[in-house]
Amino acid sequence: MILQQLRRRTPLGWIQLRHNKTRLLVSIGGIAFADILMFMQLGILNGLYDSNTAPHRQLQTDIVLVSTQARQLTNLLSFPRRRLYQAMDVPGVASAQALYINFIDWKHPETRQKTAMLVVGVNPDTKAFDLPAVNQSLDKIKLPDTVLFDRAARGNYQWVIDQVEQKRTVTTEIERRTITIAGLFELGASFTTDGILLTSDQSFLRLFPSRQAGQVSLGLVQVQPGSDPEAVVEDLNAYLPQDVKAMTKQGFVDFEKAYIDQNQPIAFVFGLATTIGFIVGIVIVYQILSTDVNDHLAEYATFKAMGYRDRYLLGAIFEEALILAAIGFIPGVGVSLGLYSLLRQVGALPIYMLLLRLVLVFTLTVVMCSLSGIVATRQLRSADPADIF
C-alpha cells in the first residue's frame, strides 16, 4: 500500500528543483562544500591520531613500561634498565626488552638538507615491531652505523628508496658519523616526526654518546601464555618503584591520544571547524529553500485553495531538502577522496575514507537539510490564498 502511494504521488519537490537548473547546481555545490569541510576536518583529526599512534600499534608486545614523567612517544624521558630485570620477577612475565628512542638531525642522502628524524634503537636479536619488513632485516642492522629507513617518511625520498631497492649503497651523515641505509620499512610520518630510522641498540648508543646503556626509553614486556595482561599490569605497578609505570599496549595507544587531547587543542579545533561546516550547510540550504518557497508562494497558495493541506506542501519542501542532501553528498565525497589522496602524498599522513565517517557525514547532511527545511517552511504555513490573490 505504501509503495503504491509513493508511486502514484507526484514528486513535487523534485519537479521544483529541476525547474531551475542553475539554482539546483548552486544548491548541490553549496551542500558539497559543507560536506567537504566536514570530511576534511574529521579526516585530518583521525589522521592525526592514526599517525601519532602508528608506532605504538606496531609494537610487538603485551605490556609497555614507561617513565612516570613520560608525556608522549617523542617525549618519554628515560628510566633505569634494571627495572626490566625487576619486571621479570613478577609472575606472568615471560620477557622484557629495552627500546631506545631519541630525535636527531640527519642529512638527506640526496639533497644533503637537514631534517629531524626519530631514531629507534632495538635489540636486533629480538622482534620489537610487528612489521615483516623490519623483522626480515634485523641481521642487516647488526652491522655498525647501519639503519633501516621509513619509506613513508615526509619529504621527497624516492631516489633513496629506488637506490635501496636496487641494493645500492646509500650513505648519509648523522652527528658527524657516516651511516648506511641497508633496508626499508613502512610506518609513516606524524604531526611530530618526519619519519623513523630503525637501528640496533649499539648503533643507537654510538649516535648518542651521552646516552647511557642503562637508561632506556621503553620497556617491552611479553606475558606468559595464558596470563592476563591487565592483571600483570596491576602486579607490575604494585611491585616496581614509582619511577616507572606499566600499561597494556592499547593503554599505551590511549596514553598518546590522551596527551593530544589534554595538551594540544587540536581535537577541539577540528571539532569546532566541523561544527562550523555543519552550520554553513544549514545557512546555505536555508537560503536555497527559502528563496524557492518565496518564488512559488503563489503556487503553494493555489494548492491550499484547492484543498491541499499544509502537510502535503511541507512534505514537498522536505522532499527538496532530502534530495539536495543526497545529490550534494555525492560530489562532496568525490572531492574529499581526491583531497585525502593529495594529503597522503604531500603530507605523508594516513588519511582514508572510513565507512563510519561516510555514514556520520551523510547523517549530518540529512539533519542539516532537514533543519533548514523546518525553518524555510515558516512562510509557507502562514501563506493565505486570500492575501495572494
Give me the chain's average pLDDT, please.
83
**Pair 303, 10: CB distance under 8 Å:** no
> Measured between alpha carbons, how far is 198 from 147 in angstroms, rounded to an integer?
5
For the chain, the domain total comes to 2
**Pair 41, 360: CB distance under 8 Å:** no
Binned at pLDDT 50, 70 and 90, residue 2 comes out as very low
Domain that holds residue 35: 12-52+265-388
Can you spell out the DSSP letters for 299-363? HHHHHHHTT--HHHHHHHHHHHHHHHHHHHHHHHHHHHHHHHHHHHHHH-------HHHHHHHHH
Whether 217 and 75 map to the same domain: the answer is yes
Whether 236 and 193 map to the same domain: the answer is yes
Q: In 3D, which of 61, 121, 78 has the Cα closest to residue 217? A: 78
Average pLDDT over residues 232-245: 93
Q: Is the pLDDT of residue 223 over 90?
A: yes
What percent of the chain is predicted at pLDDT more than 70? 84
The whole-number pLDDT of residue 6 equals: 38
> Measured between alpha carbons, how far is 349 from 339 in angstroms, rounded to an integer?
12
Q: Is the pLDDT of residue 172 over 70?
A: yes
Q: Bigger pLDDT: 225 or 74?
A: 225
Q: Is the pLDDT of residue 147 over 50?
A: yes
Average pLDDT over residues 108-123: 84
Q: Is the pLDDT of residue 148 over 90?
A: yes
Whether 36 and 148 map to the same domain: the answer is no
Q: In 3D, which of 321, 335, 329 has the Cα closest to residue 358? A: 329
pTM: 0.75
In a domain, 363, yes or no: yes
At position 286, the amino acid (one-letter code) is Y
Whether 163 and 224 map to the same domain: the answer is yes
Tell me the per-residue pLDDT of 184-193, one tens digit each, with 9 for 90 and over. 998 877 777 7
In a domain, 252, yes or no: no
In a domain, 131, yes or no: yes
Whether 354 and 289 map to the same domain: the answer is yes
Whether 212 and 272 map to the same domain: the answer is no
In a domain, 353, yes or no: yes
Whether 108 and 197 map to the same domain: the answer is yes
Q: Bigger pLDDT: 314 or 100?
A: 100
Whether 228 and 317 map to the same domain: the answer is no
10-19, 39-48, 282-291: range with lowest mean pLDDT: 10-19
Three cell numbers, residue 130: 610487528
- Please list the residues that pair with 199 across neighbouring strands: 121, 147
